[in-house]
Chain A
């Protein structure tokens, strides 16, 4: 194993000489994610605040003045505006107003006759502000309808409670942060898989096909180091880089989210509070079990990259050979985010996807330890198989001298 560690040391030494790669691998995530999440948080806050703080602009066509008082009474939510020039629908799409509300011209008469009148609302479903206007209108009308019904019941001498036969009271069964945890559980395997593969891919190519291309691999092979130790050294390096990439990216994202969570929740708070919220979501056992799963997964990816890299003539060929694997990882990663996949009975037996499933369940507080063990053992087995294969194939002269 000493030889493998020496080869790994050589790879890290080479990496340390490349300042640009070092910067993009180890420092960039700490700049990038806080920047992205900070911007996202600010924009989202600004958008929510501007939508919530502003009344919805409504063009009201109400000749009988039945609805106008209702809307005017809630000036925080509604602002009645004059008809715009040109097409009203276009004006809504252009966000000059949120909605046009046309009230039945016989609304007043129908109301007096205890009949139903209709309202015609024109809004833009694709626009959140317009959707908010409709939501506000529905809430206002619901209250007003109840009040009208209760008034009618009063005239008839009946109890006003007839208008409200039942009332729902809700109790939240989730633990604090479970909703966020479920989102994280769906999102995290995707991030882990992509970062682990993408983070180690270029390094893997550089250290395998790149060494062949640069003519340095032969000098390494001419030493007394056993071939399997050379390949293991490269594997350890590629795996370590993948793992480091994931950890750095996740740590950076965690810090960035920690800053974002309290501010988005409008509770106001520091990064420490945000991290506190995150740590309550992901308990140490969840984190340890997730990390344990990342090890064989990283080894599996590293093995695939090294295997393809050693068999390729040059870096271009290696990149082309590894790309389909990357596509599979992307598809698997995207699939792992799909809602309801945890109900698929076969999924615990599908390699890679079973890792996503296990992580997802861990974060959803629905850990299934049998499924976790299957995923772990299956990934370890596959990683072992690929290690054996890459060691065997590196000994093939056709692979070594294919330059």
Chain B
């Protein structure tokens, strides 16, 4: 279970020209809940606040205001405990190129408090699912971005997390591998995990998300099943919803 209540996050940036400091509100009063056994799609254009929200849920960042709970654990009060519940994957993450997938998974298993042998066994199982088992003992330096992404997915799921956060999980993957990842997400849903994904790939949202939240300019616009969102916005596709939001935002400015 993921629960965000009235979350705010502000960044301070420096204007290069005027040298003045500016406050940018990345997330404004965001509240959402992802139940166990549910896949929640967080949609929005670049810079809307998706990644910041996911990083806050993953315990990599702290909210300025509001509360974030992961399986009932406050991410601010007990960040380590909360992170132990989370499997986090982002396009910003890379793998340690000098290691083989087997070595990396053993090591990260230990980091997450899993016995090295158990971690290895689970890791090999995940690599098999992701069709990468043949490369388990090959140094990752020469891996393609898709292969690295697969290893990252295995790394994120290694400690059997109750909450899965995938930021752009299919980026860089070919169609077949992307399908494997989506199947994996479905399995995680069926296992009762709370899954939150951010993506730009709209067909993927239609295919797997139970509910979606559209985030625009740091605010959540709509939090419902994809079909309901389309009905509410009187749109045929989610892309259209984006355009309407963008037009509304431009008019407000």
Seen from chain A, the residues whose Cβ lies within 8 Å of a Cβ on chain B are 3, 6-7, 9-10, 13-14, 17-18, 214-216, 218-226, 397-398, 400-401, 403
Contact = CB atoms under 8 A, between A and B. Distances in A.
Interface residues of B, number: 33
24 contacts: A7-B111, A9-B107, A10-B107, A13-B99, A17-B139, A18-B98, A215-B94, A218-B60, A219-B93, A219-B94, A221-B60, A222-B83, A222-B88, A222-B93, A222-B156, A224-B80, A224-B84, A224-B112, A224-B159, A225-B80, A225-B111, A397-B61, A398-B12, A401-B61
B243 interface: no
Nearest to A226: B80
A226 B112 CA distance: 11
B117 interface: no
B56 to A, nearest CB: 10
A14 B99 contact: yes
B22 interface: no
B152 A17 contact: no
A2 to B, nearest CB: 9
A17 B62 contact: no
Given A17-B98, A17-B99, A397-B62, A223 B108 contact: yes
B92 A218 contact: yes
Interface in B91-148: 92-99, 103, 107-108, 110-113, 139
A216 B94 contact: yes
Contact of A223 (B92, B95, B112): B112
Given A224-B111, A224-B159, 19 more contacts: A6-B107, A6-B110, A6-B111, A13-B103, A14-B99, A214-B97, A216-B93, A218-B60, A218-B90, A219-B93, A219-B95, A219-B108, A222-B83, A222-B156, A223-B108, A224-B81, A397-B62, A398-B12, A403-B92
Interface string B158-182: 0100000000000000000000000
Given A13-B99, A14-B99, A224 B113 contact: yes
B58 interface: yes
Contact of B155 (A14, A219, A221, A226): A219
B60 A223 contact: no
Contacts of B86: 222
Contacts of A224: 80-81, 83-84, 111-113, 159
